[in-house]
């Protein structure tokens, strides 16, 4: 058919447009900056190895939730014997991380919105500022 | 099959447009409810169930009433119901769909509804309600689809369909019994704590459903010329008569026990419905209108001269449906919360948002039914 | 073989149903939730309501609870959220009010979830969002609650509240120690289980300056509540319903 050449051209154009992010970034030789996260200032060790936390912190939070709410277990023991209070607001945010400088930065960068945790759970930095 | 519903006259498309308008409005109002919370309804801390749950209860009854045409036709070979059995089953599908939608719009966290299946709680009647309603929907959908499909090809229905149809009979009774058990197992609510709830639910369902079916048949006759036969209408009217009579009888025996026993809570809940409580008229007007509608309807059904008059029969069907809709679709549910365990009365009026969402769901049910019946009539008139 | 539209749609629907069904079945939680530790305490509360200084404007128990748990002050009474509140004697014991000493009936009763030993609310919850712990506390899991409000219908004591809207705007000072709730879930008194886990007594008990509320372990024969129930006659709300309330009103 005569239209074959136009179809081919159209497909090539589409592929070129579709893969723009790949070849444009390669051509302009810039590296996209990763998320600028602020690590905890006072805490030295995490509740779990960093690799595990990077991959499965949601699983840890889910386990903490079930432990605290459904099993009445309010203390978490790390592999090396440290004990932590099972609480998102008091431990994760209260002792170590800043929600805005740490959690939100990565989440915003990767476009992953945290499930509805913040509808109920408090950011201690935020509530401290808003107490009249 | 669905192509039969995509062609129609101007009247048909006008009707579809009207339904879509209601659905659109309901959806918009539901969005408002999702954003603002259930505070946009008239429900309160004391009256925590209202129009939505009432409508759910009522339409489970309509869905169960399909059994009133299935039993005579499939078990007793009542030839008059040959053309009507399928209409009843399709009504059941549309009704169950409405029920599920009413539950969904009533939930405070609807996106978590699957928790009922992810974390099954066999000790909860609501879990079994979800199971039985889903099962009934599936059963009727399978039966209706396969029956229509066979009719379209001019073949008898597949032989494996018979056991499925037989299963749908006790299942229909079970869905409404389970729904009644939602209420009749609660010691906290004296109005509901009665063994009579389940039989009463079934009786009122078997009155309201066939009454609606009669009205739908007349609509079909007028709009499409499809006529299931006068004998079918007459037999359905008989079913409505007896079911409505039993339902009314059960209401009366409930009133006797509540009033004669003198138990404070029982007496108070009935007083709220039929007379005054703490000087307030409560739902009295609503319940008396419902009762008078029922009395009027029964009069027509029992007097042969009136029953044979077409206009009177249709008016009586409307009256029965309306009476039971008022009773089961609102009064019974709200009445269970009045007075509260603390003796307080909290007025409940559905808000406009609530009505709009309810109307949207009715419109979805009507749309489903319109499409189903259009397909059915299309297939059957082509077969002739 | 020519695939018809009907066959395609039916196969797609069946596949979707099959995949969904399998996924649902395999994700059913197996871990047991109830902490069945041996020698569990049996928490209960005894209220000496005649010590209540409500007529002098005291509302410390309610205030302490509100602060501890971020209870919102909802302006519409129909949508109010309350974990502990006060109600006139005649409302709570209407069949036992006549001919009774006004010295008794003039004090309001502090009402809260009774943490029944045979709770009607936990029986009806379709998701297990509310359940009874081994130590007697009827818990709420606000992550799992679907907001069906069946528990509210089942409770004979009017103990449960529903969040008809987002509660946060109605909370004056958010206590960062405890989460708020969100719209669409049911909430009620939790006997301060988070405080009990830290060895503290409930906020209302601590907040009452008249020491009108006694909280303790019914399984401990030496506890204050046991001796209070042993020395004074106590009433319960609607005991004939078989709920087995853990809240007693001392006479």
pLDDT in tens, B200-238: 999 999 999 999 999 999 999 999 999 999 999 999 999
Question: Residue C30 pLDDT more than 50?
Answer: no
Question: Residue C20 pLDDT more than 80?
Answer: no
Q: How many domains does chain A have?
A: 1
Q: Are residues B294 and B366 in the same domain?
A: no
Residue C32: its pLDDT value, please? 46
Residue B358: its pLDDT value, please? 98
Residue whose token pair is 């709570």: C92
- Separation of CA B315 from chain center: 19
Flag if B115 and C144 touch (Cβ within 8 Å): yes
Flag if C141 and A70 touch (Cβ within 8 Å): yes
Task: Convert the pLDDT of each residue in A55-112 to its tens digit.
Answer: 999 999 999 999 999 999 999 999 889 999 999 998 999 888 988 888 888 888 888 8
Output the six-digit token pair for A9. 């051209």
Contact in structure between C89 and C108 (CB atoms under 8 Å)? yes
Q: Mean per-residue pLDDT for B347-373?
A: 97
The angle formed by the CA atoms of residues C136, C141 and C143, to the nearest 5 degrees, is 170
The confidence band for C56, taking pLDDT boundaries of 50, 70 and 90, is confident
- Separation of CA C139 from chain center: 7
Q: Mean per-residue pLDDT for B77-101?
A: 93
Count of helix runs (H) and strand runs (E) in chain A:
5, 2
Count how many pairs of residues, chain A against chain C, have C-beta atoms within 8 Å.
51
Residue whose token pair is 């449906």: B321
Flag if A74 and C173 touch (Cβ within 8 Å): no
Give the 3-state secondary structure of residue B194. coil
Task: Convert the pLDDT of each residue in C97-140 to its tens digit.
Answer: 888 888 888 889 999 999 999 999 999 999 999 999 999 999 99
Cβ contacts (< 8 Å) between B3 and chain C: which residues? none
Domain covering C41-250 assigned CATH 3.30.70.20 in the classification: yes
The angle formed by the CA atoms of residues B127, B131 and B134, to the nearest 5 degrees, is 135
Q: Nearest-CA distance from B39 to chain C in Å?
A: 4
ipTM of the complex: 0.94
Flag if A124 and C176 touch (Cβ within 8 Å): yes
The confidence band for C26, taking pLDDT boundaries of 50, 70 and 90, is low
Helix B230-261 and helix B310-326: axis angle, to 10°? 40
Q: What is the rounded radius of gyration, in angstroms, for the C-alpha atoms of chain A?
A: 23
Flag if B45 and C161 touch (Cβ within 8 Å): yes
Q: Are residues B212 and B92 in the same domain?
A: no
Interface of B with C in 118-177 (CB under 8 A): 118-121, 123-127, 130
Contact in structure between B56 and B383 (CB atoms under 8 Å)? no
Residue C27: its pLDDT value, please? 59
- B262 touches C: beta carbon within 8 Å: no
Does some domain include residue B231?
no
Does some domain include residue A36?
no
Q: Mean per-residue pLDDT for B187-199?
A: 96
The confidence band for B311, taking pLDDT boundaries of 50, 70 and 90, is very high
Task: Convert the pLDDT of each residue in B327-344 to its tens digit.
Answer: 999 999 999 999 999 889
The confidence band for B349, taking pLDDT boundaries of 50, 70 and 90, is very high
Flag if C156 and B342 touch (Cβ within 8 Å): no
Cβ contacts (< 8 Å) between B187 and chain C: which residues? 120, 156, 241-243
Q: Nearest-CA distance from A92 to chain C in Å?
A: 13
Does some domain include residue A26?
no
> Dihedrals φ, ψ of B36, to 5°?
-90, -20
Q: Mean per-residue pLDDT for B318-323?
A: 98
The angle formed by the CA atoms of residues C68, C69 and C75, to the nearest 5 degrees, is 115
Flag if C126 and B187 touch (Cβ within 8 Å): no
Count how many pairs of residues, chain B against chain C, have C-beta atoms within 8 Å.
142
Q: How many domains does chain B have?
A: 2
Residue C156: its pLDDT value, please? 97
Residue whose token pair is 């209401």: B251
Q: Are residues B375 and B338 in the same domain?
A: no
Helix B197-224 and helix B230-261: axis angle, to 10°? 150
B84: domain range? 1-184+351-384
Give the 3-state secondary structure of residue A51. helix
Cβ contacts (< 8 Å) between A65 and chain C: which residues? 143
**Half-sphere exposure for B58 (CA within 13 Å, toward CB):** 25
Can the peptide bond before residue B339 be classed as cis, meaning omega within 30 degrees of 0?
A: yes
Residue C22: its pLDDT value, please? 79
For residue A85, the chain C residue with the least C-alpha distance is C198
Nearest beta carbon to residue C33 from set A71, A116, A122: A71
Give the 3-state secondary structure of residue A83. strand
Task: Print the SS3 string covering chain C.
Answer: CCCCHHHHHHHHHHHHHHHHHHHHHHCCCCCCCCCCCCCCCCEEEEECHHHCCHHHCCCHHHHHHHHHHCCCCCCCHHHCCCCEEEECHHHHCHHHCCCCCHHHHCCCEEEECCCCCCCHHHHHCCCCCEEECCCCCEEECCCCCCCCCHHHHHCCCCCCEECCCCCHHHCCCCCCCCCCCCCCCEECCCCCHHHHCCCCCCHHHHHCCCCCEEEEECCCCCCHHHHHHHHCCEECCCHHHCCCCCEEEEC
Does some domain include residue B136?
yes
Cα–Cα dist C189/C112, whole Å: 6
Flag if A131 and C194 touch (Cβ within 8 Å): no
Q: Mean per-residue pLDDT for C79-90?
A: 95
Does some domain include residue A121?
yes
Cβ contacts (< 8 Å) between A73 and chain C: which residues? 35
**Half-sphere exposure for B244 (CA within 13 Å, toward CB):** 34
Question: Residue B373 pLDDT more than 90?
Answer: yes
Give the 3-state secondary structure of residue A85. strand
The confidence band for C37, taking pLDDT boundaries of 50, 70 and 90, is low
Flag if C146 and B107 touch (Cβ within 8 Å): yes
For residue A75, the chain C residue with the least C-alpha distance is C197
Flag if A119 and C33 touch (Cβ within 8 Å): no
Residue C28: its pLDDT value, please? 57
- A82 touches C: beta carbon within 8 Å: no
Residue C190: its pLDDT value, please? 96
Q: What is the mean pLDDT of chain B?
A: 94
Residue C24: its pLDDT value, please? 66
Q: Are residues B158 and B214 in the same domain?
A: no
> Dihedrals φ, ψ of C84, to 5°?
-135, 140
A118: domain range? 50-130
Does some domain include residue B234?
no
Total count of residues recorded for chain A: 132
Q: Nearest-CA distance from B106 to chain C in Å?
A: 7
* β-strand pairing of C161-162 with C130-132: unpaired
The confidence band for C38, taking pLDDT boundaries of 50, 70 and 90, is low
Contact in structure between B56 and B106 (CB atoms under 8 Å)? yes
DSSP string for residues in B341-381: TTS--------HHHHHHHHHHHHHHHHHHHHHHHHHHHHHH
- What number of other Cβ atoms are within 10 A of residue C36's Cβ? 10
Interface of C with B in 183-222 (CB under 8 A): 183-186
Helix (H) or strand (E) holding A75: strand A75-77
Give the 3-state secondary structure of residue B67. helix
- B346 touches C: beta carbon within 8 Å: yes
Output the six-digit token pair for B19. 């339904």
Contact in structure between C129 and C30 (CB atoms under 8 Å)? no
Neighbours of chain B (3+ CB pairs under 8 A): C
Nearest beta carbon to residue A119 from set C139, C177, C182: C182
More confident residue, B161 or C33: B161
Q: Are residues B357 and B325 in the same domain?
A: no
């Amino acid at each position: 058919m005569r239209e074959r050449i136009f179809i081919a051209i159209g497909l090539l154009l589409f592929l070129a447009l579709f893969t723009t992010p790949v070849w444009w970034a390669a051509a302009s030789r810039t590296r996209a900056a990763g998320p600028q996260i602020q690590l905890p200032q006072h805490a030295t060790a995490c509740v779990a190895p960093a690799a595990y936390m990077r991959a499965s912190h949601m699983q840890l939070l889910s386990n903490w939730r079930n432990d605290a709410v459904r099993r009445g277990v309010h203390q978490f023991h790390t592999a090396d014997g440290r004990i932590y209070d099972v609480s998102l607001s008091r431990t994760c945010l209260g002792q170590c991380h800043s929600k805005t400088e740490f959690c939100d930065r990565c989440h915003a960068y990767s476009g992953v919105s945290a499930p509805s945790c913040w509808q109920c759970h408090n950011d201690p930095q935020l509530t401290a500022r808003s107490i009249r | 099959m669905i192509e039969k519903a995509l062609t129609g006259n101007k009247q048909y498309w006008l009707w579809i447009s009207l339904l879509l308008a209601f659905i659109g409005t309901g959806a918009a109002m539901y969005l408002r409810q999702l954003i603002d919370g259930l505070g946009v309804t008239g429900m309160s801390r004391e009256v925590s169930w209202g129009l939505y749950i009432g409508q759910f209860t009522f339409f489970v009854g309509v869905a169960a009433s399909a059994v009133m045409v299935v039993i005579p036709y499939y078990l007793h070979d009542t030839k008059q119901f040959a053309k009507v059995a399928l209409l009843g089953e399709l009504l059941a599908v549309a009704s169950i769909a409405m029920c599920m939608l009413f539950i969904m719009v009533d939930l405070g966290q609807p996106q978590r509804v699957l928790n009922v299946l992810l974390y099954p709680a066999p000790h909860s009647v609501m879990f079994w309600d979800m199971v039985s309603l889903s099962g009934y929907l599936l059963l009727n959908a399978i039966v209706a689809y396969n029956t229509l499909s066979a009719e379209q090809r001019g073949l008898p229905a597949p032989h494996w369909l018979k056991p499925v149809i037989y299963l749908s009979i006790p299942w229909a009774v079970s869905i409404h019994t389970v729904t009644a058990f939602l209420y009749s197992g609660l010691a906290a609510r004296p109005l509901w704590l009665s063994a009579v709830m389940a039989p009463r639910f079934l009786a009122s369902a078997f009155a309201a459903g066939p009454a609606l079916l009669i009205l739908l048949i007349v609509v079909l006759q007028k709009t499409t010329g499809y006529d299931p036969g006068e004998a079918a209408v007459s037999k359905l009217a008989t079913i409505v008569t007896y079911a409505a009579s039993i339902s009314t009888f059960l209401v009366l025996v409930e009133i006797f026990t509540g009033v004669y026993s003198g138990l404070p809570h029982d007496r108070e809940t009935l007083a709220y419905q039929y007379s005054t409580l703490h000087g307030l008229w409560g739902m009295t007007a609503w319940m008396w209108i419902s009762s008078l509608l029922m009395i009027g309807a029964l009069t027509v059904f029992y007097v042969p001269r009136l029953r044979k008059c077409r206009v009177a029969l249709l008016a009586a069907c409307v009256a029965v449906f309306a009476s039971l809709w008022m009773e089961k679709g609102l009064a019974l549910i709200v009445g269970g919360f009045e007075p509260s365990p603390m003796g307080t009365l909290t007025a409940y009026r559905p808000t406009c948002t609530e009505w709009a969402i309810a109307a949207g769901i009715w419109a979805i049910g009507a749309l489903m039914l319109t499409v189903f019946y259009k397909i059915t009539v299309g297939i059957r008139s082509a077969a002739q | 073989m020519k695939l018809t539209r009907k066959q395609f749609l039916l196969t797609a629907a069946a596949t979707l149903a099959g995949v969904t069904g399998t996924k649902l079945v395999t994700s059913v939680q197996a871990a047991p939730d109830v902490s069945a530790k041996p020698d569990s305490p049996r928490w209960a509360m005894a209220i000496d309501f005649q010590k209540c200084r409500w007529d002098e404007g005291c509302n410390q128990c309610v205030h302490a609870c509100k602060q501890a748990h971020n209870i919102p002050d909802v302006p519409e009474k129909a949508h109010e959220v309350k974990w502990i509140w006060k109600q006139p004697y005649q409302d709570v014991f209407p069949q036992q009010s006549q001919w009774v000493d006004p010295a008794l009936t003039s004090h309001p009763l502090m009402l809260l979830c009774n943490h029944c030993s045979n709770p009607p609310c936990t029986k009806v919850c379709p998701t297990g969002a509310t359940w009874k712990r081994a130590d007697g506390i009827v818990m709420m899991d606000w992550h799992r609650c679907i907001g069906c409000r069946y528990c509210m219908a089942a409770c004979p004591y009017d103990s449960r509240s529903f969040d008809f809207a987002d509660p946060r705007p109605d909370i004056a000072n958010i206590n960062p120690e405890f989460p708020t709730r969100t719209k669409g879930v049911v909430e009620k008194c939790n006997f301060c289980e988070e405080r009990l886990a830290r060895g503290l007594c409930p906020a209302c008990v601590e907040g009452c300056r008249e020491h009108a509320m006694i909280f303790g372990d019914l399984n401990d024969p030496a506890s204050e509540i046991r001796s209070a129930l042993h020395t004074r006659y106590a009433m319960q709300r609607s005991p004939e319903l078989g709920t087995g309330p853990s809240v007693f009103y001392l006479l």
